[in-house]
Chain A
Amino acid sequence: MRALLTALALLVTGMMIGLVGFLTVRGAGSLTPGFLFSMPSGSGGEGGILPAALSTLWLAAGALSLALPLGVGTAVYLVEYARPGPLVCAIRTLTETLAGVPSILFGLFGFALFVVRLGWGPTLLTASATLALMLLPTVVRTSEEALAAVPQDLREGAAALGSSRWDAVRRVVLPQAAPGIATGALLALGRAVGETAAVLLTSGVGLTLPRTIMDSSRPLAVHLFLLAGEGSAGGRAHATALALVIGTLLFNVLADLALWRRRAS
């Protein structure tokens, strides 16, 4: 049994290493600073990935700045204000269901709502909003856990000094929960960086540097999808994939570090 389980573990690790190794072998040669920081040419098949990398960063930041206030607000309501009952139950169930919805559905929903109905067209804002919807369950859940972990003593201590519920939340509970909420945000960010399906129909395919949130853009994941589909870009596609993997890895390591530091203290 032990041998079988060891073999399984090795298989899984091997696949991970194989994947990253494959990308490294094929793509590392093309992944130069020049590639990262130059403009693409020839419909993206040649040149660098600067606009795509920037789009990804803007997209992640945009999605988070929409998802964080909404998600933390919901969590504060659920933990600090709501009385246990059917409404809270419904919100929890819906949030959990939302977490399991395939991301392409978010993409289609975002397309139908933001691109078509609201007429924003495929832009950074559209993609950020769509992605934010997808990240909400993660942000709500991790924020809820962080808030629930704040000792009741602190809430009572604040109340006993004459503070309103909101004052207690704002001045005592949220600061205490902030590291946990930040960890959740980083986890969400890691997902946002690599997400493809949700932004495929909402971000556009623009290859210029995005200047405003209403510009069409092409995040790395979408860029990669298009390059791979053409089948002509060779090492550039692999280098793009490698850049994406490294970016995602970076955010996850940051999240782990934040978690680890919280556990240690």
Chain B
Amino acid sequence: MSSYRPKMETRGLRVFYGEREALRGVSLAVPDRSVTALIGPSGCGKSTFLRSLNRMHDLSHGVRVEGRVLLDGRPIERLDPQVLRCRVGMLFQRPNPFPMSIYRNVAFGPALFGVRGAELERIVVTALQRVALWEEVKGRLHQDATGLSGGQQQRLCLARALAMEPEVLLMDEPCSALDPAATEAIETLIGELRRTMAIVIVTHSMDQARRVADRVAFFQGGRLVEDGPADQVLTRPQREETRRFLAHSPAWLA
């Protein structure tokens, strides 16, 4: 299922928001061509962890990151953040299409790096087909993307990320703003994408973790409590904290 060396790996990762330590030394390996789900109560540090993997914290003032994050065994701080984020794509909690046409949304990334003309068009069409949005939007590629439904917008954002052909895809509760049908569409896509890339998904839904994840990592209080194969962590957790969380995890707790 996964190659010997992890696609991404953290060692002793600590993140501070000002004085507050949100991540207290997390070491986790993310295997290639599989889905790793991060679960845990809100404020446990799972989103903070995710945003460390593509250096999203660089954008915020007063956030300090310590420890190592490796991509293919190389520390990511040695990479240009722009190059890193091309290789490690991200899908956000709320759909965030740019206020421009559907076409230009998907073309945004490749166009930044100078792709033009027929090549760009091919990339856009392929990306829209991959997220099963092509049939729905092919007649209105040049209309404003903000006119799409929430589920369509999220698939558009996924297409936008896929247009960069990332090696790793980070998803921060990508279905929390979507209805069940749109959620199912995204989960189906995750199932297909995991064959070609490493996916790390933050989710507050244990059902979703059960449906999509190969591996599960449970966070609590800024620490990684337990991680392992999904069915093991979700059904036969080794640690008492994990057991307690899984036993008392109605949706509102997350």
Q: Hey, which bits of chain A sit against chain B, CB under 8 A? A: 83-84, 151, 153-164, 167, 171-172, 175-176
Contact = CB atoms under 8 A, between A and B. Distances in A.
9 closest A-B pairs by beta carbon, nearest first, are A161-B109, A153-B96, A160-B90, A162-B86, A157-B96, A162-B85, A162-B82, A163-B112, A172-B98
Contacts of A160: 54, 56, 85, 89-90, 92, 161
A167 B97 CA distance: 16
Contacts of B157: 157
Nearest to B51: A156
B61 interface: yes
A164 B81 CA distance: 9
Contacts, number: 64
Interface class of chain A by DSSP: helix
A84 B18 CA distance: 13
B252 interface: no
Chain B, interface residues (CB within 8 Å), range = 20 to 34
A175 B100 CA distance: 9
A14 B90 CA distance: 60
A161 B85 CA distance: 6
A156 B113 CA distance: 18
A157 B156 CA distance: 12
- Most chain B CB within a 10 A radius of its CB, from A84, A151, A162: A162
A153 B83 contact: no
Given A156-B56, A167-B112, A161 B164 contact: yes
A159 B85 contact: yes
B59 interface: yes
Nearest to B61: A83
B94 interface: yes
A9 B157 CA distance: 52
B170 to A, nearest CB: 8
19 contacts: A153-B92, A153-B96, A154-B96, A154-B99, A156-B96, A157-B96, A157-B160, A160-B54, A161-B85, A161-B89, A161-B108, A161-B112, A161-B164, A162-B82, A162-B83, A162-B86, A162-B113, A163-B112, A172-B99
Contacts of B98: 154, 157-158, 171-172
- Most chain A CB within a 10 A radius of its CB, from B54, B82, B98, B161: B98
A85 to B, nearest CB: 9
- Most chain B CB within a 10 A radius of its CB, from A84, A153, A154, A160: A160
A162 B112 CA distance: 8
Contacts of B89: 160-161
A163 B108 CA distance: 9
Given A155-B59, A156-B56, A157-B157, A162 B164 contact: yes
Contacts of A158: 98, 108
Interface in B110-162: 112-113, 157, 160-161
B99 A176 contact: yes
Nearest to A178: B99
